Amino acid sequence: MHADILIAGQGIAGTLLGWELERAGIPFEIADAGHASAASRVAAGIINPITGQRIVKSWRVDTLLPLARDTYRALEAELGVSLWHELRVRRLYLDECERRVFAEKQALGELADYAGATDGDGFWIEGAARVDVAALLAAMRARWLASGVLREERVDFLAAREEHALTIDCTGAALRTGVGQPGAPFGFVRWQHSKGEILTVAIEGLAPDVVLNRGHWLLPVAPGVACVGATHAPSRRDTTLTAEARAELEASVSAMSGRVFAVTGQEAGVRVYVADKKPVVGRHPADARFGVLSGLGAKGALFAPALAQQWASHLTEGTPFDREVDVARVWRG
C-alpha cells in the first residue's frame, strides 16, 4: 500500500519537504535514484544576504534567513549532525564599478543590517552562513532508507499518478536535463540551466569563519581545506569537468587569498531556475495530483525551508501558495 504523497527527488528541496511533512505527521514516500547532475551534490550551501554584481540583498532575506536558521538548527538537534555554520563574507571589489555601486546603495540604506565595515578593497557582509548540504542529505537518506520511506529508483510520473494522490516533483536537474522519467508533468515551465564547477583545494592560513568573495567564493570547510566556485555556464546541462573552469577557479584562489594551494578535487553540477530567478512551487494548474518544488537555482539552502513549510501549510490547512513563487505564474496551458 503506497502513501498518498510521493516526493520525487531527495536533493535539498525534497529533503526539506520530507522533513516538514514528517514534522506535520503527514505520511509520504520518496523516490530518488541519486543523479550525477544534481546541483545538491556539489552545493556549497552558502547563505549570503548580499549577492550579485548589482550588490543587492537576497530576495526576502530578512524573512527567509531566520526561518532557515531555525530549520537547520532543529535538524541538527534531531540528527546529531553539525549543519549550520555562522560566517562573515569579505566581499572584494572586482572593479571601480562595483565600488561605486556599493557606495551608492550603502548611502541609500538598501543594504541595512548586513553591510558592515568597508575599506578601499571591499566590504564585510554580516549574517552569512553555510549549510553542510552533503551531511544533511546523507543523514536524511540513511534515516529514510532505514525506515523504508525512501526507495532508490527513478520516478515514472504516469505510474505515480495512479498510485499516489499527490506526486511532488523535486527532481531538479535529474529531470530538467532530460533524464527519462516518463510523463514529466512540468514540461510547460521554461526551465533554464547553468552548469557550475567547483574545486576543492588544500590551503593553509584562511580564517575558518570567513568566506572570500570576488566573482567566485572561497569557502573554508575544514582545517587546511577550502572549496572555490562556482563557475557559471548558461544553458550547459552536462557534468563534464573542464580545464577552462579549473584555470578560472585557480586564478580566483590566487587573486583572493595570495596563498600557495594545491587542487585536490573538481566537481560539477547543474542549477535549474526560471527567468525571474524565483523558485517554483505549488500544484499543477491543470492536474492537482501533481505538485512541484524546484527552480531554486544557487540559493537552495536559503529557499528550501520556507518553500517546504508552504507545502506543509497547504496540505494541513489549505493555505494557498505565495503568488510570487506559485507555479501558476508560469503556466502555459
- Rounded to whole angstroms, the Cα distance separating 286 from 291 reads 11
Same-domain pairing of 92 and 108: yes
Residue 301, Cβ density class (10 Å: 0-12 exposed, 13-18 middle, ≥19 buried): buried
Q: Which pLDDT band, with edges at 50, 70 and 90, does 33 fall under?
A: confident
92: containing domain: 46-131
Quick: pLDDT tens for 259-304: 999 999 999 988 899 999 999 999 999 999 999 999 998 899 999 9
Does the structure show a pLDDT above 50 at 203?
yes
Q: Which pLDDT band, with edges at 50, 70 and 90, does 173 fall under?
A: low
Same-domain pairing of 123 and 52: yes
Same-domain pairing of 185 and 165: yes
Same-domain pairing of 288 and 148: yes
Which range among 3-17, 33-47, 176-190 has the greatest average pLDDT?
A: 3-17
Same-domain pairing of 250 and 282: no
Q: Which pLDDT band, with edges at 50, 70 and 90, does 55 fall under?
A: very high
Q: pLDDT value at position 179?
A: 39
Report how many domains make up the chain: 3
Last residue in a domain, options 109, 131, 153: 131
Mean pLDDT score, 100-114:
94
Does the structure show a pLDDT above 90 at 16?
yes
* Percent of the chain's residues with pLDDT above 70: 94
Same-domain pairing of 170 and 208: no
Same-domain pairing of 226 and 77: no
- Rounded to whole angstroms, the Cα distance separating 102 from 111 reads 9
Tell me which H or E stretch contains 177.
none
Does the structure show a pLDDT above 90 at 1?
no
Place of cell 528550501: 304
Mean pLDDT score, 148-158:
92
Contacts of the segment 313-319: beta carbons below 8 A, 24+ positions apart: 315/5, 315/21, 315/24, 315/26, 316/24, 316/26
Per the prediction, the chain carries an average pLDDT of 92
- Find the Cα–Cα–Cα–Cα dihedral 307, 278, 214, 238, rounded to 10°: 90
> How many helices (H) and strands (E) in the chain?
8, 18
Same-domain pairing of 249 and 298: no
Q: pLDDT value at position 42?
A: 64
Q: How many CA atoms lie within 13 A of 143 on its CB side?
A: 16
Say how far residue 188 (Cα) sits from the centre of its chain. 22
DSSP letter assigned to residue 122: E
Does the structure show a pLDDT above 90 at 244?
yes
- Rounded to whole angstroms, the Cα distance separating 252 from 254 reads 5
Residue 25 maps to which CATH number?
3.50.50.60
* Percent of the chain's residues with pLDDT above 90: 85
Same-domain pairing of 26 and 144: yes
What is the sign of the dihedral through the CA atoms of 98, 99, 105 and 111? Answer: positive
Last residue in a domain, options 88, 116, 131: 131
Are 67 and 221 a contacting pair, CB within 8 Å? Answer: no
Same-domain pairing of 259 and 291: no
pTM summary value: 0.93
- Rounded to whole angstroms, the Cα distance separating 146 from 93 reads 48
Q: Among 37, 22, 12, which Cα is nearest to 270's?
A: 37
Same-domain pairing of 301 and 264: no
Cell numbers standing for residue 168: 511532488
Q: Among 230, 311, 267, which Cα is nearest to 15's?
A: 311
What residue type is assigned to position 167 of the chain? T
Residue 257 maps to which CATH number?
3.30.9.10
Are 106 and 118 a contacting pair, CB within 8 Å? Answer: yes
Last residue in a domain, options 114, 131, 148: 131
Same-domain pairing of 50 and 183: no
